Amino acid sequence: MAVNRELRVADTHPADYPTVQALNHMGRLLTERSQGRLGLKVLHSRLMGEEAETIEHTRIGALDMARVNLAPLNGLVPETIVPSLPFLFRSAEHLHNFLDGPVGAELAKALERRGFIALAYYDSGARSFYNARHAIRRPADLKGLRIRVQQSPVAEAMVQALGATPAPLPYGQVAVGLKTGLIDGAENNWPSYQDARHFEAAQFYSLTEHSMAPDVLLMSKKVWDGLTPADQDLIREAARESVGTMRTLWAAREQAARDSMTAAGINVNTVDKAAFAEAMRPLYERFTADPRLKDLLRRIQAVP
């Protein structure tokens, strides 16, 4: 169907990544239901630049939407710090209950105050450390390693708490950084580790599962405010429906990536998780000094 107005949405992931597929699904729904008045142009594979740029472009309205992780928003929207804290979510169920409930809606309000309409939260699994040197079993094994982290003060502090040196590089530079030895390792979920080809140089994947910061689909509030309420409803509804698709795709993709990486001979090991949680605990005090954030933390923890 020919589309009248194509909203441009940026995603750094490649065409077959679950987030991109979920956006394609959302675009189809939107076009069908608006009878061709609205659609999505999904600009994947970093076509619109790295995550930090797509966030800024969305904020100022130069881009309509961006699918990003919460961590690179930490500097801009303080409330996003809380769900980016390590060892916060007890399970995917705890995370979903938070995102789908009133506390998730409150986070969306905080994003709105900073110029973003949060249309949907997408799964991003659990992030673990991987590196080119040796298996990481306890925090001391990270000592002295240079580890790439997302561009967020929380992510930097996490690695510092373990005695490693954080390197906040954009996602697109990680594979080369690993290959050239600029960095020793990084941390991410299984699908990113595989699709961004980090496994080629970093062959030790250690199951710290320290962070479950979700992804989010942001729309520019500037663009949003120029739409009719009826079109806003259509967009919200299509985004809401893409979440179920995303969760199904994610669960399958996460397992498939883990299986294929294991079959390819990657060294996978379990860790002493309690020791990692303990080493990172001081981040809670440091990053939730603001009483509003402390309160948000308590309420996320209290979600069943």
Three-state secondary-structure class, residue 145: coil
CA angle, 199 then 55 then 284, to 5°: 70
Q: Does 74 bind ligand GTR (CB under 6 A)?
A: no
Tell me the CB-side half-sphere exposure of residue 259, using CA atoms within 13 A. Answer: 6
Q: Which is nearer to ligand GTR, 189 or 220 (CB)?
A: 189
Q: Does 283 bind ligand GTR (CB under 6 A)?
A: no
Report the residue number, 39 or 50, with the smaller CB distance to ligand GTR. Answer: 50
Judge whether 247 and 102 are in contact, CB under 8 Å. Answer: no
Q: Per the structure block, which two tokens stand in for 202? A: 């970093």
Residue in 150, 203, 208, 220 binding ligand GTR, rule: CB under 6 A: 150
- Work out whether 51 is an interface residue with ligand GTR (CB under 6 A): yes
Q: Could you give the C-alpha distances from 12 to 18, 55, 198, in angstroms and in order?
A: 12, 11, 15
CB of 40 to ligand GTR, least distance (A): 18
Parallel, antiparallel or unpaired: strands 215-220 and 65-69 = antiparallel
Q: Contact between 215 and ligand GTR (CB under 6 A)?
A: yes
Q: Minimum distance from CB of 116 to ligand GTR (Å)?
A: 15
Q: What residue type is 59 in one-letter code?
A: R
Residue 170 CB, shortest distance to ligand GTR, in Å, is 7
189 interacts with ligand GTR by CB under 6 A: yes
Kindly tell me which residue out of 124, 194, 208, 288 binds ligand GTR, with binding defined by CB under 6 A.
Answer: 124
Q: Which of 276, 236, 249 is CA-nearest to residue 17?
A: 249
Q: How many residues does the chain have?
A: 304
Site string for ligand GTR, 2-21 (x = CB under 6 A): ----------x---------
188 in contact with ligand GTR (CB under 6 A): yes
Q: Judging by DSSP bridges, how do beta strands 65-69 and 5-11 pair with one another? A: parallel
With binding defined as CB under 6 A, does residue 171 bind ligand GTR?
Answer: yes
| Residues that bind ligand GTR in the complex, under the rule CB under 6 A | 12, 51, 68-69, 124, 150, 171, 188-189, 192, 215
